[in-house]
């Protein structure tokens, strides 16, 4: 939808918060909380995410609904990889780009961790578009102190469990929240509230895909939004935090999870940073503040090098899987426009 076709009556949604808009529409506290949770994946809290993003909840309820990928999300990646392999694309794994070489306004090579140069005519960067400009291209506007001042989406604390037995008290998607929602969500990301009784989300992959656990067992994925590494650099308390969550969950669903564990994997923001180069462990990249969206977001095209492009969550249009995919379409259009016929 083009911006011009959005009715002007919706303009105030750009400046008011999602929570204000929900307050206007609903009286039930629970409904307001449930509909506000999407904000955590876009900005930080429903109290500082623009109300315009309530369009996501609207679209989900009114149009597309919720889709479960049979076999799990990774099947999408497998599908894309298979198509690309058939088209002759070659993948080089475990290759980290640490530097670039350039001449005459063009990048000529990217350099990997072993000092090997990789040359090409056009480069598309999928690492975080803000981080790459700072750490690799050494742009002052994206140096660490500047990046630290930007707004980043939640850092994930994730737990993957294999549990013996079936847990009847759980659906596929479950949110476990406390009663101090506003105080908790306003303070959690700056590490100003105790993680003793955290809010968290539980997904039961084995419910939608029974092959994800042995018969009679359950696989659980738990996501707890936590402060990123700017506000909480030390995660030596990870096992304690996971224990708190598992104990709380056991009580709420009336099932002794701790004593029925087959497997347990814990990833804190340090792991997420290391695994995917996520800036300070921020799970979804740059937040969707008014000054970090559209033209104000790091562009899909590089400011200086004509043959350097970006895709992913910290460039345009924004965070999350669907938008990261749209970014690749926008970037492809830019590349075709610039290089078609050359």
Cα 59 from Cα 254, distance rounded (Å): 35
Q: How far is the CB of 8 from ligand FAD (least distance, A)?
A: 29
For ligand FAD, the closer of residues 241 and 324 by Cβ is 324
Q: How far is the CB of 54 from ligand FAD (least distance, A)?
A: 17
Q: β-pairing, 123-125 with 261-267? A: unpaired
Q: How far is the CB of 157 from ligand FAD (least distance, A)?
A: 9
For ligand FAD, the closer of residues 255 and 279 by Cβ is 279
Residue nearest to ligand FAD (CB): 312
For ligand FAD, the closer of residues 162 and 320 by Cβ is 320
Q: How far is the CB of 114 from ligand FAD (least distance, A)?
A: 12
Site residues for ligand FAD per CB under 6 A: 96-97, 126-127, 156, 158, 223, 272, 276-277, 283-284, 312-313, 319-322, 324
Q: How far is the CB of 112 from ligand FAD (least distance, A)?
A: 8
For ligand FAD, the closer of residues 96 and 303 by Cβ is 96
For ligand FAD, the closer of residues 12 and 117 by Cβ is 117
For ligand FAD, the closer of residues 227 and 283 by Cβ is 283
The pair of structure tokens assigned to 198 is 């955290």
Which residue matches tokens 């850092």? 155
Peptide bond into 115 cis (omega under 30): no
Q: How far is the CB of 9 from ligand FAD (least distance, A)?
A: 29
Q: How far is the CB of 98 from ligand FAD (least distance, A)?
A: 7
For ligand FAD, the closer of residues 97 and 246 by Cβ is 97
């Amino acid at each position: 939808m083009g911006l011009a076709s959005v009715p002007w009556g919706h303009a105030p949604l750009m400046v008011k918060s999602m929570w204000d808009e929900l307050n206007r529409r609903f009286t039930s506290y629970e409904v307001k909380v449930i509909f506000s949770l999407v904000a955590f994946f876009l900005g930080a809290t429903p109290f500082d995410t623009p109300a315009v993003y309530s369009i996501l909840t609207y679209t989900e309820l009114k149009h597309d609904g919720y889709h479960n990928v049979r076999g799990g999300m990774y099947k999408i990646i497998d599908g894309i990889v298979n198509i690309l392999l058939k088209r002759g694309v070659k993948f080089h794994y475990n290759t980290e780009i640490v530097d670039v070489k350039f001449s005459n306004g063009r990048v000529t090579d990217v350099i990997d961790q072993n000092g090997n140069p990789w040359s090409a005519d056009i480069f598309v960067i999928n690492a975080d578009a803000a981080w790459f400009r700072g750490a690799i291209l050494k742009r002052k506007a994206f140096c660490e102190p500047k990046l630290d001042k930007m707004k980043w989406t939640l850092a994930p604390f994730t737990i993957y469990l294999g549990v013996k037995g079936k847990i009847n008290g759980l659906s596929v998607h479950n949110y476990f929240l406390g009663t101090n929602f506003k105080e908790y969500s306003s303070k959690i990301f700056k590490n100003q509230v105790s993680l003793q009784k955290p809010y968290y989300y539980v997904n039961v992959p084995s419910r939608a895909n029974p092959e994800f656990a042995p018969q009679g067992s359950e696989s659980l994925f738990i996501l707890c939004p936590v402060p990123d590494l700017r506000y909480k650099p030390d995660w030596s308390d990870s096992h304690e935090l996971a224990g708190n969550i598992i104990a709380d969950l056991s009580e709420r669903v009336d099932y002794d999870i701790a004593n029925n564990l087959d497997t347990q994997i814990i990833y804190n923001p340090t792991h997420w940073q290391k695994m995917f180069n996520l800036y300070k462990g921020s799970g979804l990249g740059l937040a969707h503040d008014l000054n970090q969206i559209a033209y104000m977001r790091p562009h899909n095209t590089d400011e200086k090098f004509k043959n350097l492009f970006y895709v992913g969550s910290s460039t345009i249009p924004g965070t999350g899987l669907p938008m990261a995919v749209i970014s690749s379409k926008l970037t492809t259009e830019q590349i075709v426009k610039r290089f078609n016929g050359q």
